[in-house]
Amino acid sequence: MKIKTWYYRHFDADFGLDVPAEGYGGWKSAELPIDPRHTALVVMHAWDSGTREQFPGWHRFVEYMPRAERIVREVFPPLLAAVRRSPIPLFHVVGGGDYYKSCPGYRRAVELAGPELPEPPRMAFDPIVQALSAFRHEHVSPGVHNADDIQRGFARLDFPEPARPVGDEGVAENAHQLFALCRHHEVTHLVYVGFAINWCLLLSPGGMADMSRRGLMCSAIRQAVTAVENKETARDELCKQIALWRVALAFGFVYDLDDFLAMLGSPGSGD
């Protein structure tokens, strides 16, 4: 089976140009194989984060929430339904609370994974680093005035209904459990959707950095992710563009939603 696949040609720099990197080939696409028997869709950190009225401080800090909510509402239903009708397994990577621990798929992942691996040792903060961390908490993120709302929001964290696991779909809270699910299902290629493509999907437990170290290819669906943006990037979602380049360069490939749905035999989104 083949699918239109986006990749980034990161060569050759042209030192005859004012900016040598402008000689790179850039984004290109090709019809490349994908094997549903060894591919899984991963929904990562899809959270019901409440409303702006409930948790104004959390929403002030995490500006991408409206974009994530739109993706959950508009993109996830057709995508997850199509995956559930296909041979491709659907995994959920979770964190931030214990809202998932009653899921049959979580208990299955824990059983498959066996004993947890020991945490790596951590250095204790010295007084200067403690002071620097306190400064960051107040002046970098999340801001002292937002902290209570964030804590209250995480205390009632849950799946949004369109992303709630069905039946015994695998639910993993870390790479150890996700790898156990992959090994059980003979999965070698993970296609990620969720939030955020330049943060949790890359670096949180069970994200691309973890799983690529375990030998899995990690890709993403462009229309099913958003990024943490900043003042200078948010208008054009530049951080998302850079994150997709990073995925294509370091971990795997990028797919468009309509192409992925067509590969699964479902109608496109119409976007």
**pLDDT at res. 268:** 66
Whole-structure pTM value:
0.96
Residues of the chain under the 50 pLDDT cut: 271
Q: What pLDDT score does 176 carry?
A: 98
Residue 135 belongs to a domain = no
> Would you say residue 173 lies in a domain?
yes
Report yes or no on 71 lying in a domain: yes
Encoded tokens for 42: 């991963």
Residue 253 in any domain: the answer is yes
Q: Does a structural domain hold residue 9?
A: yes
Q: Is 172 within the bounds of a domain? A: yes
Contact 39, 28 (CB under 8 A): no
What total of structural domains would you count in the chain? 1
Residue 75 structural domain: 2-116+156-263
Question: What pLDDT, on the 0 to 100 scale, is given for residue 266?
Answer: 74
Whether residue 113 contacts residue 176, with contact meaning beta carbons closer than 8 Å, is answered with yes
In a domain, 130, yes or no: no
Q: Which whole-number Å values give the CA distances from 44 to 41, 74, 163, 203, 248, in the listed order?
A: 10, 17, 10, 12, 18
- 139: in domain: no
Which CATH number is 33's domain given?
A: 3.40.50.850
